[in-house]
């Protein structure tokens, strides 16, 4: 953000090892401490200096005096009948944010394997699988508390933006959620698909990705990370430049044309589809990888067979797969889900037009953890809105 920000001003959980190095040498500490602290935080998930028992008591106290407090703590855990877990985290200052742990089903894994299998000549896809069969888990995290994009079918969009999360708060969601995995589960995929618009909050999102992919920390391959975006072309360009196209992209398209899209996604008026599709064409996607097109099916708005045909034309020539997601209802809107038969008819038109299209099952609906339902259970927003 501002060039004047020094490593000491960055939250300890968001510091890269070289930034720790600069801070610790200022305290007269040995250089190896920087790696030690970074590994404790990002490898072991220690968010409280008091628990870094490998450090001297003096250093732990110094870190605390310099403002190292845990960026987030878990306040509630809800477990859905389908195994999905929603964690409610409380951040410093009282904001509350949710993240969702989603065990992958067989059909998720098949869709994914179809992609990964096609990409075996890309070096990053050769990450080793654990020896024993383990349940793959996807974690869905948030980048903002609320959202400024205003999409009419989305709870966060209807609530408005309260504030962006710091990189420390973004990464803490992962470090904390990992502790809520069952023994046989492992974190395979990370999706920036919770509250907020990650590319409207680029700096902190990008720093979070650098931390998450750091070999001394969580060491997640960038291809295991997907940024879901409403489709901001400047952000898509920056992401492509900064991470060489390796970070996965999911675009919330939800419509085949500007007229339909403009009605449900206000930002489309500023960045019409031509510009968005152009940014997608230029995204430096590795060979044989595809961009995911998200399409929330809303009854009577975007679910007609002719709209499916128009979508086939709109996406012609792009390397994409389409995820159809029946809309989850939200209290702020009377819009609702398309019927199963509408969704199936839409899917078969796409398939007939040569597009791979998958219907996404609703997960975690019984704990209000489904797409677009992550909201403010907190009082903070209510008190802001009705002082
Ligand atoms: N701002 C980002 C990420 C957050 S939303 C984006 O727009 O992609 C994650 C996904 O959930 C998006 O595809 C979004 O359009 C979708 N979504 C939002 N509200 C929904 C709802 N009520 N039902 C189904 N999907 C919804």
| Beta-strand relationship, 96-103 and 135-140 | antiparallel
140 is catalytic: no
Q: How far apart are the first and last CA of the chain?
A: 31
151 is catalytic: no
* E runs forming strands in the chain: 72-79, 85-91, 96-103, 135-140, 144-146, 161-164, 185-192, 225-229, 248-252, 291-297, 320-326, 356-359
Model confidence pLDDT, tens digit, residues 127-178: 445 566 789 999 999 999 999 999 999 989 998 999 999 999 999 999 999 9
Q: Could you tell me how far CA 63 lies from the centroid of its own chain?
A: 30
Model confidence pLDDT, tens digit, residues 329-356: 888 899 999 999 999 999 999 999 999 9
Indicate if ligand 1 lies below 6 Å from the C-beta of 255: no
Mean pLDDT of 306-318: 98
Indicate if ligand 1 lies below 6 Å from the C-beta of 153: yes
| Ligand 1 mean position, distance from CA 65 (Å) | 40
Model confidence pLDDT, tens digit, residues 217-254: 999 999 999 999 999 999 999 999 999 999 999 999 99
Q: What residues contact 182, with CB distance under 8 A and at least 6 apart? A: 135
Between 360 and 18, residue with greater pLDDT: 18
Exactly one of 29, 98, 204, 294 is catalytic; name it: 98
Mean pLDDT of 182-206: 96
| Ligand 1 mean position, distance from CA 78 (Å) | 21
pLDDT at position 92:
84
Residue nearest to atom 20 of ligand 1 (CA): 372
Residue nearest to atom 21 of ligand 1 (CA): 372
User: How does the average pLDDT of the chain come out, rounded?
Assistant: 89
């Amino acid at each position: 953000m501002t060039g004047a920000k020094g490593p000491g001003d960055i939250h300890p959980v968001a510091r890269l090892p070289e930034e720790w190095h600069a801070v610790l040498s200022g305290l007269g500490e040995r250089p190896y401490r920087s790696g030690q602290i970074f590994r404790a935080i990002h490898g072991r998930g220690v968010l409280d200096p008091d628990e870094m028992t490998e450090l001297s008591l003096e250093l732990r106290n110094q870190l605390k005096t310099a403002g190292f407090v845990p960026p987030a703590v878990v306040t509630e855990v809800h477990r859905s009948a389908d195994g999905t877990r929603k964690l409610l985290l409380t951040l410093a200052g009282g904001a509350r944010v949710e993240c969702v742990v989603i065990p992958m089903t067989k059909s998720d894994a098949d869709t994914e394997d179809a992609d990964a299998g096609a990409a075996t000549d890309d070096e990053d896809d050769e990450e080793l699988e654990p020896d024993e069969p383990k349940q793959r888990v996807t974690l869905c995290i948030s980048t903002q508390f609320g959202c400024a994009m205003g999409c009419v079918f989305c709870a966060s969009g209807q609530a408005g933006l309260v504030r962006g999360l710091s990189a420390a708060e973004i990464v803490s969601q992962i470090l904390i959620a990992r502790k809520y995995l069952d023994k046989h589960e492992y974190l395979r995929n990370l999706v920036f698909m919770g509250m907020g618009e990650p590319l409207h909050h680029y700096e902190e999102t990008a720093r979070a990705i650098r931390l998450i992919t750091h070999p001394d920390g969580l060491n997640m391959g960038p291809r295991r990370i997907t940024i879901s975006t409403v489709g901001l072309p400047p952000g898509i360009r920056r992401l492509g430049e900064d991470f060489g196209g390796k970070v996965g992209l999911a675009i919330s398209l939800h419509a085949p044309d500007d007229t339909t899209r403009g009605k449900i996604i206000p930002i489309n008026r500023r960045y019409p589809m031509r510009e968005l599709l152009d940014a997608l064409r230029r995204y430096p996607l590795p060979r044989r990888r595809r961009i995911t097109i998200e399409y929330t099916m809303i009854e009577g708005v975007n679910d007609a067979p002719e709209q499916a045909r128009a979508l086939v034309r709109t996406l012609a020539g792009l390397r994409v797969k389409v995820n159809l997601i029946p809309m989850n209802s939200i209290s702020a809107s009377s819009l609702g889900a398309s019927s199963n038969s509408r969704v199936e008819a839409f899917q078969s038109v796409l398939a007939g037009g040569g597009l791979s299209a998958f219907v996404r099952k609703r997960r975690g609906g019984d704990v209000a953890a489904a797409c677009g339902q992550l909201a403010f259970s907190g009082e903070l927003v209510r008190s802001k809105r009705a002082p």
